[in-house]
A and B are shown apart, each in its own frame.
Chain A
Amino acid sequence: MCLAIPAQLVELLPGEQAIVNLGGIRKTISIALIETVEVGDYVIVHVGHAIGKIDPEEAARTLAMFGELAEADNDRVSPSTKAAA
Chain B
Amino acid sequence: MSPVKKAYIRPLDIRHGCIDMGHGAGGRSAAQLIEELFLAAFDNEFLRQGNDGAVFAPPPLPAGARLVMATDGHVVSPLFFPGGDVGCLSVHGTVNDVAMSGAKPLYLTASFILEEGYPLADLKRIVDSMALAAREAGVPVITGDTKVVERGKGDGVFISTTGLGVVAPGVDIAGSNARPGDVVLLSGTIGEHGVAVLSQRESLEFETTIQSDTCALHTLVAAMLLAAPGDVRVLRDPTRGGLATTLNEVARQSRAGMMLEESAIPVLPEVDAACELLGLDPLYIANEGKLIAICAPEAADAVLAAMRAHPQGRAAARIGVVTEDAHHFVQMNTRFGGRRVVDWLSGEQLPRIC
Contacts and interface: CB of A to CB of B under 8 A. Distances in A.
Given A3-B279, A5-B276, A22-B276, A27 B206 contact: yes
A3 B352 contact: yes
Interface in B317-354: 352-354
A26 B208 contact: yes
B270 A26 contact: no
A7 B209 CA distance: 17
Contact of A22 (B277, B279, B352): B277
B173 interface: no
Interface string B207-239: 111000000000000000000000000000000
A1 B214 CA distance: 35
B269 interface: yes
B270 A27 contact: no
B353 A2 contact: yes
A47 B206 CA distance: 13
Interface residues of B, number: 16
B240 to A, nearest CB: 23
A53 interface: no
Interface in B145-204: none
Nearest to B195: A25
A23 B270 contact: yes
Nearest to B272: A23
Interface in B269-285: 269-270, 272-274, 276-277, 279
Nearest to B278: A3
A45 B269 CA distance: 18
Contacts of B207: 25-27
A24 interface: yes
Contact of A25 (B206, B352, B353, B354): B206
Interface string A1-40: 1110101000000000000001111110000000000000
Contacts of B206: 25-27
Contacts of B272: 23
A54 to B, nearest CB: 15
B208 A24 contact: yes
B279 A25 contact: no
Nearest to B352: A3
Given A3-B279, A5-B276, A5-B277, A23 B353 contact: no
Contacts of A25: 206-208, 270, 273-274, 277
Given A3-B279, A27-B206, A27-B207, A22 B353 contact: no
A18 to B, nearest CB: 13
Contacts of B269: 23-24
A45 B274 CA distance: 13
Between A1, A3, A26, A47, the greatest number of chain B beta carbons within 10 A of the residue's beta carbon is seen for A3
A46 B351 CA distance: 12
A46 B353 contact: yes
A5 B273 CA distance: 10
Interface string B232-257: 00000000000000000000000000
B353 A24 contact: no
Interface of A: 1-3, 5, 7, 22-27, 45-47
Given A1-B354, A22-B277, 18 more contacts: A2-B354, A3-B279, A3-B352, A3-B353, A5-B276, A7-B277, A22-B273, A23-B269, A23-B276, A24-B208, A24-B209, A25-B207, A25-B208, A25-B277, A26-B207, A27-B277, A45-B277, A47-B353
Interface of B: 205-209, 269-270, 272-274, 276-277, 279, 352-354
Q: Which 4 A-B pairs have the closest CB atoms?
A: A23-B273, A26-B207, A1-B354, A24-B270
